[in-house]
C-alpha cells in the first residue's frame, strides 16, 4: 500500500469518529487536507462537512458553514447535509439559506431530502411563518408534495406549528399513506392537544408497527395521561428500549417514582440491557425522590455493566447523589470520570455544591473548569450565582455576574437577574435588590418580583413587601404564593386583620395554599407525608413516634414551638398543634421508628423548611444522635449534633 493511500484511509477513519473528535482536531484534519491537496476532493470534503455538520456544537456548525462557502462546486448531497444540520441547530431557520441557494442554483435541483430537511427546520422553529407556506408551495410545484417522506414532514411541520387542520388535510390528500404517515398524524393530534383524536386515529390505522405503539406511549406521557400510557404499554406484544425508556422517564417526570423504579426492575428481569436514556431516566427519579439506596444500587450495576464511560450517565449520577444529600459521593463520581467532562458535568458539580451551601467550593470548581478549557454557559452562571446567594457571598456573586457579561459575552437572562435579586435579598440588602430590579435592561417578570417578595417575607419588611405585592397584582393577580408570602409578613408582625383580609381574598378567588409534603426512603420504598392528610396506618405510626419525640425535646432541651409561621389568629395551643403536624416532622419521626440506629434520615420537602421545623431537626439530631439531611425547595440542610450546615442562613 502506498503512502498516499494510507493517508487517505487514515483521514477517513478519523473523520468517521464524529463523537470522539474535537473541533480542534477537525481543524487539524482540514489543514492536512490542504497540505495533501485533498481539500478540493468532493469525497473527502463531503466527509469533513458531514463530520462538522453532525456536531451539536454551534461552533462546529458555524465552521461547517464556512467550509461550505469556500468549496468551489458543492453537490446536492453537500447542500442537504448542511440544511439538515442547521435545521437541528439552535437557529433552525438558518437551514433555509442553503435551501434557497440550492433552489436558485443553475445546474443543481433540490430533491425530496432537501425539502424534508428544510421543512424540519420550520417544524423545529415552531412557528408557521411565510417561509413554511412557501416551502409547501415549492414542494407542490416540484412534485414532491405527494412524496411520502416530504408528506410526513409536512404533517409534522403543521402539527409543530399548531396547525392541526392543515396537517390532516395533507394526510387526507396523500394517495397511499403508509404507517409512517399514520404515525405522523397521531403525533400531530397529540401536539395539538387532541388526546382522544390521537386514539381515534390509532384505532383506524390499517397497519401498526412498534413505532406506532411508542408514539401513543410518548403522546400519553407528554399529556400527563399516565394511566392511559400504562394501559397501552400493557397491551403491547413487543417492546423495545424506546418503550421502556418512555415509561421510566414519563413516570419519573410525573412524580410516580415507585412506578418508574418498577418499570426499570421489570426491564432488568426481562434481560433487556438498559439504554443511556432509561438509565438517566431512572437516576432522575432517584434524584427527585431522594432515593439514595436505590441510587447506590444503580451505581453499582452501571459500574459492572460498563456504563460509566458515558458522560450523560456520570452527569446524572452526580445530580442523583447531590440531590440525595451526599455531595461527597457526587464529587467522587465527578473526580473519577473516565469520559471527558463537558460543560454539563462541570455545571452539575457546581450546582451540587451550591445546593449544599458550599459556595466557596463551587467557585473553586468553576476556576478549575476555566483552567480545563471548557467554556461555561448561562446555566453554569445560574448555578454559580445560586451558590453565592445561599452562602452569603455577595461580592463574589457581583464579580461573577460582571465576568459573565464582560469576559464570556453571555447576555443575562431573567434567571440571572433573579439570582442577583435573591443574592441581595438573602443578605438583607433589600433596598439594593429593589434598585437592581428598577435598573434592569429587560422588564422584570413575576418571578423576579416574587423573589424579592420572598426575601421581604424572610426579613419582615412590610413596606417593601406591600409595594412588591402591588406590582405582582398587576402581572399575576391570582397567584396564591404571592398572597401567602405577604400574609407571612403580616403574621410575623401580628397584623391579624391584614392576614384575615388576604385569607378572604384567597377564598373569594378560589386560591389555595400549596400543601406541604415530605418524602423519605425506607428499605427502597418511598413514603410520602402530606400536611393535613387523612390518617392511615403509616401516618398513625408517624404521629405516635412524633408525640414521643416532642415530649423528649421539651423535657431534655426545653423546646418551645415557634408559632410565627402559623397564619391564623388562633389560640397558642392550636398554633403549637398546627406546627407539630408539618410533613417533615412526620417523615423524620417515621424514619426514626423504622430505620436502624445510625442510619441517616434523608428527607425531601417541596416547600421551604419553616423555622420551627428547622429547630426541631437540630434538636432531634442532638438528642437522638442521628444525622438528618433535608432537601427543601431551595437547598440542603444537614443536621448533626444540634447544628445545621446552613448555619441558619436559608
Domain membership flag for residue 579: yes
Domain membership flag for residue 559: yes
Q: Which whole number is the average pLDDT over 50-66?
A: 64
pLDDT for 37: 63
pLDDT for 639: 94
Q: Rounded to an integer, what distance in angstroms lies between the CA atom of residue 529 and that of residue 518?
A: 5
Q: CA-CA distances (angstroms) from residue 362 to 83, 399, 428?
A: 40, 14, 22
Q: Which whole number is the average pLDDT over 39-43?
A: 64
Residue 110 has pLDDT above 50, yes or no: yes
Q: CA-CA distances (angstroms) from residue 302 to 295, 389, 454, 483?
A: 10, 35, 41, 46
Residue 314 has pLDDT above 50, yes or no: yes
Domain membership flag for residue 549: yes
Q: Rounded to an integer, what distance in angstroms lies between the CA atom of residue 178 and that of residue 175?
A: 10
489-519: pLDDT as tens digits: 888 777 888 888 888 888 888 888 788 899 9
Mean pLDDT, the chain, whole residue set: 87
Domain membership flag for residue 381: no
Indicate the pLDDT class of residue 99, thresholds 50, 70 and 90. Answer: very high
418-454: pLDDT as tens digits: 999 999 999 999 999 999 999 999 999 999 999 999 8
Domain membership flag for residue 357: no
Evaluate whether 346 touches 369 at the Cβ level (below 8 Å): yes
Residue 266 has pLDDT above 60, yes or no: yes
Domain membership flag for residue 554: yes
Domain membership flag for residue 556: yes
Indicate the pLDDT class of residue 22, thresholds 50, 70 and 90. Answer: low
Q: Which residue has the higher pLDDT, 603 or 562?
A: 603
pLDDT for 365: 98
Residue 151 has pLDDT above 60, yes or no: yes
pLDDT for 40: 62
With helix as H, strand as E and coil as C, how does 338-352 read? CCCCCHHHHHHHHHH
Evaluate whether 239 touches 267 at the Cβ level (below 8 Å): no
Domain membership flag for residue 619: yes
Q: How many domains does the chain have?
A: 1
Residue 32 has pLDDT above 80, yes or no: no
Helix count and strand count (H, E) for the chain: 34, 6
Range picked from 89-103, 142-156, 158-172, 582-596 for highest mean pLDDT: 582-596
Lowest-confidence range among 387-396, 528-537, 545-554?
Answer: 528-537
275-309: pLDDT as tens digits: 999 999 999 999 998 899 999 999 999 999 999 99
Q: Rounded to an integer, what distance in angstroms lies between the CA atom of residue 585 and that of residue 260?
A: 27
Indicate the pLDDT class of residue 5, thresholds 50, 70 and 90. Answer: low
Residue 229 has pLDDT above 50, yes or no: yes
- Domain encompassing residue 528: 520-644
Q: Rounded to an integer, what distance in angstroms lies between the CA atom of residue 185 and that of residue 41?
A: 42
C-alpha cell at 486: 405577604
pLDDT for 60: 63
The DSSP secondary-structure symbol of 72 reads S
Which residues lie across from 638 on neighbouring strands?
629
Amino acid at each position: 500500500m502506498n503512502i498516499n493511500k494510507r493517508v487517505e484511509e487514515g483521514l477517513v477513519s478519523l473523520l468517521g469518529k464524529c463523537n470522539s473528535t474535537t473541533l480542534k482536531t477537525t481543524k487539524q484534519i482540514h489543514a492536512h487536507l490542504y497540505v495533501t491537496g485533498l481539500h478540493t476532493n468532493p469525497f473527502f470534503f463531503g466527509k469533513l462537512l458531514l463530520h462538522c455538520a453532525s456536531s451539536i456544537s454551534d461552533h462546529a456548525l458555524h465552521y461547517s458553514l464556512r467550509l461550505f462557502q469556500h468549496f468551489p462546486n458543492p453537490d446536492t448531497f453537500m447542500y442537504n447535509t448542511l440544511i439538515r444540520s442547521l435545521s437541528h441547530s439552535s437557529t433552525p431557520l438558518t437551514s433555509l439559506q442553503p435551501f434557497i441557494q440550492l433552489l436558485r442554483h443553475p445546474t443543481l435541483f433540490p430533491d425530496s431530502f432537501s425539502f424534508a430537511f428544510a421543512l424540519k427546520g420550520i417544524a423545529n422553529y415552531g412557528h408557521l411563518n411565510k417561509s413554511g407556506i412557501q416551502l409547501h408551495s415549492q414542494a407542490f410545484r416540484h412534485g414532491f408534495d405527494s412524496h411520502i417522506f416530504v408528506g410526513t414532514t409536512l404533517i409534522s411541520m403543521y402539527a409543530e406549528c399548531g396547525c392541526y387542520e392543515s396537517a390532516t388535510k395533507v394526510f387526507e390528500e396523500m394517495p397511499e399513506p403508509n404507517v409512517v404517515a399514520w404515525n405522523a398524524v397521531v403525533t400531530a393530534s397529540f401536539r395539538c392537544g387532541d388526546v382522544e383524536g390521537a386514539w381515534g386515529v390509532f384505532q383506524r390505522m390499517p397497519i401498526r408497527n412498534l413505532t406506532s405503539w411508542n408514539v401513543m406511549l410518548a403522546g400519553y406521557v407528554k399529556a400527563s395521561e399516565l394511566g392511559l400510557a400504562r394501559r397501552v404499554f400493557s397491551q403491547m406484544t413487543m417492546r423495545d428500549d424506546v418503550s421502556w425508556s418512555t415509561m421510566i422517564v414519563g413516570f419519573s417526570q410525573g412524580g410516580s417514582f415507585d412506578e418508574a423504579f418498577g418499570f426499570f426492575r421489570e426491564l432488568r428481569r426481562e434481560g433487556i440491557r438498559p439504554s443511556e436514556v432509561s438509565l438517566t431516566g431512572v437516576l432522575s427519579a432517584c434524584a427527585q425522590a431522594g432515593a439514595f439506596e436505590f441510587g447506590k444500587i444503580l451505581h453499582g450495576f452501571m459500574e459492572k455493566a460498563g456504563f460509566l464511560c458515558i458522560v450523560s450517565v456520570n452527569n446524572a449520577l452526580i445530580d442523583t447523589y447531590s440531590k440525595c444529600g451526599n455531595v461527597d459521593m457526587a464529587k467522587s463520581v465527578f473526580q473519577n470520570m473516565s469520559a471527558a467532562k463537558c460543560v454539563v458535568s462541570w455545571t452539575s458539580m457546581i450546582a451540587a455544591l451550591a445546593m449544599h451551601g458550599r459556595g466557596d467550593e463551587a467557585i473553586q470548581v468553576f476556576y478549575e473548569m476555566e483552567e480545563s478549557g471548557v467554556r461555561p454557559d448561562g446555566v453554569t452562571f445560574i448555578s454559580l450565582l445560586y451558590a453565592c446567594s445561599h452562602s452569603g457571598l455577595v461580592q463574589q456573586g457581583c464579580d461573577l455576574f460582571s465576568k459573565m457579561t464582560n469576559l464570556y459575552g453571555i447576555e443575562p437572562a431573567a434567571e440571572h437577574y433573579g439570582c442577583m435579586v435573591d443574592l441581595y435579598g438573602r443578605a438583607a440588602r433589600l433596598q439594593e435588590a429593589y434598585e437592581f430590579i428598577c435598573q434592569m435592561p429587560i422588564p422584570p417578570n413575576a418571578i423576579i418580583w416574587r423573589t424579592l417578595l420572598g426575601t421581604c417575607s424572610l426579613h419582615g419588611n412590610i413596606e417593601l413587601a406591600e409595594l412588591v405585592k402591588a406590582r405582582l397584582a398587576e402581572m399575576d393577580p391570582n397567584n396564591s404564593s404571592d398572597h401567602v408570602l405577604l400574609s407571612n409578613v403580616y403574621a410575623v408582625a401580628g397584623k391579624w386583620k391584614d392576614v384575615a383580609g388576604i385569607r378572604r381574598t384567597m377564598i373569594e378567588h378560589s386560591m389555595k395554599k400549596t400543601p406541604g409534603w415530605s418524602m423519605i426512603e425506607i428499605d427502597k420504598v418511598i413514603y410520602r407525608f402530606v400536611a393535613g392528610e387523612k390518617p392511615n396506618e403509616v401516618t398513625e405510626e408517624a404521629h405516635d413516634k412524633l408525640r414521643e419525640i416532642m415530649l423528649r425535646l421539651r423535657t431534655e432541651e426545653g423546646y418551645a414551638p415557634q408559632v410565627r409561621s402559623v397564619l391564623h389568629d388562633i389560640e397558642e395551643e392550636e398554633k403549637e398543634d398546627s406546627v407539630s403536624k408539618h410533613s417533615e416532622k412526620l417523615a423524620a419521626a417515621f424514619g426514626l421508628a423504622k430505620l436502624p440506629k445510625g442510619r441517616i434520615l434523608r428527607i425531601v420537602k417541596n416547600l421551604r423548611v419553616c423555622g420551627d421545623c428547622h429547630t426541631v431537626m437540630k434538636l432531634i439530631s442532638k438528642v437522638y444522635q442521628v444525622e438528618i439531611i433535608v432537601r427543601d425547595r431551595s437547598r440542603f440542610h444537614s443536621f448533626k449534633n444540634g447544628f445545621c450546615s446552613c448555619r441558619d442562613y436559608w
